[in-house]
Structure formats: C-alpha cells, structure tokens
Amino acid sequence: MRELIFQVVGENRNTSEKLLLLEDTTLIQPTHGCQFSGKNALGIIVVPSLPEHRPRREVIRTTWGANRYEAQMMLFFLTGMPSNGDLTKLTEESNVHGDLIVENLDEHYYALGIKTLRILKWFHRNCPKSQFLIKADNDVFLNLPLFAKHLNALPKSFQIGGRVLEGRTPNLRNPFSKWYT
C-alpha cells in the first residue's frame, strides 16, 4: 500500500504523521453527504476543530453556518482523536448534527498541516462533484450568501484562492517553528 509520511516538527523534534492515501482513515463520517435537495453542493466548507471545541462548533452552526442551505453549501467539522481515545461524545454530537468528520489522527499543536491534508483527502474521496472546497477556521465569520454569489460569478476553470502578501519576509525563521517557511 502506498503511503506518504510527512515530517512534522514536534516537541521532541522527531514526530511524524502518515497520510495514507489509499486507506480510509475516517473514524466517523458525516451522516449527510455532499448533496442537498438531490443536487451537488456548490461548496463544501470544512472547519478544522479540536474534539473538545463543541461549543465553538455550536456557535458556527447557529450563526453563519445556519445560512449554508441558502448558499447551497455543506458545512463539516474535521477533528482528530480525543486525547483519552473515547469517541462517545463525538459520536453523540455526530448523531445530532451529522456534520462531523473524525480522523484517526492524534491531536497536537503541530497537527494542523496534517489536518489540512486530511481535509483534501476526505474531499477528494467523498465530494468529487462539488465545485469548491473552503477551509475556514473556527474564529472567522463567513457571509455565505455573499460568498456563494462571488463563487457563482467565477469562471468555470480550476481555481485556487487565497491571499498572498507580496514583498514581505516571513517573521519566523526558526526551522523548528510551526510557521516556518
């Protein structure tokens, strides 16, 4: 089986995580897929989250996430394993909301890069007909109807969006920093 190993700088500087491309690493899948009303969602929004951050997920569900259907978007939260290994609370939350993706991934400070790669892997495996993947943090607000209007106005070619600060030097030049570039 083909696997990629990504070196992740950790406290002991010898941490690695595996992204098993051909293996299903998802422990809990969302109960609803990437469609609503029988149509493919315009966009799939995935918010990386920690297992213990249920209150933050609830805030998103009841604020900007409540507009997801109007905007033809699907909202999911991706988390790794709880530190105690007990999936009971996450399973209960998933049964109520149906929007959790729980990966077989140890949660630690340096796991964000691996989580982002797991988001891409999950999207590729589960939502091949969705036009857009949006990764949002749990401390941002998205105006989903306006965002959907913007996405619908884009040309139908391959798009990668983001923000680039030009002419800047990265502040962190420590190779052991999480933010090292």
**Which candidate, 79, 159, 173, places its Cα nearest to that of 119?**
79
Q: 48 to each of 45, 75, 138, 158, how far by Cα in Å?
A: 10, 11, 7, 24
The answer to whether residue 128 sits within a structural domain is: yes
The answer to whether residue 142 sits within a structural domain is: yes
pLDDT tens column, 50-82 = 999 999 999 999 999 998 878 789 999 999 999
Residue 107 has pLDDT above 50, yes or no: yes
Distance between CA 144 and CA 73 in Å, rounded?
Answer: 8
The answer to whether residue 7 sits within a structural domain is: no
**Residue located via tokens 């406290």:** 11
Distance between CA 132 and CA 45 in Å, rounded?
Answer: 8
pLDDT of residue 3: 47
User: Residue 87 has which token pair?
Assistant: 């999936």
pLDDT tens column, 1-43 = 344 444 444 444 334 456 667 788 899 999 888 877 777 888 8
The answer to whether residue 160 sits within a structural domain is: no
CA torsion through residues 52, 112, 140, 37, sign:
negative
The answer to whether residue 177 sits within a structural domain is: no
pLDDT tens column, 34-45 = 877 777 888 899
pLDDT of residue 1: 38
The tally of domains found in the chain comes to 1
The torsion angle over the Cα atoms of residues 153, 159, 165 and 167, rounded to 10 degrees, is -120
The answer to whether residue 6 sits within a structural domain is: no
The answer to whether residue 14 sits within a structural domain is: no
The answer to whether residue 34 sits within a structural domain is: yes
Q: What is the mean pLDDT of the chain?
A: 81
Instruction: Print the domain residue range for 92.
Output: 25-153
Distance between CA 47 and CA 60 in Å, rounded?
Answer: 10
Assessment of whether the complete model's pTM goes beyond 0.75: yes
**Residue located via tokens 């391959």:** 158
Residue 102: phi and psi, rounded to 5, are -110, 120
pLDDT of residue 164: 54
Give the CATH number for residue 34: 3.40.50
User: Residue 59 has which token pair?
Assistant: 């805030």
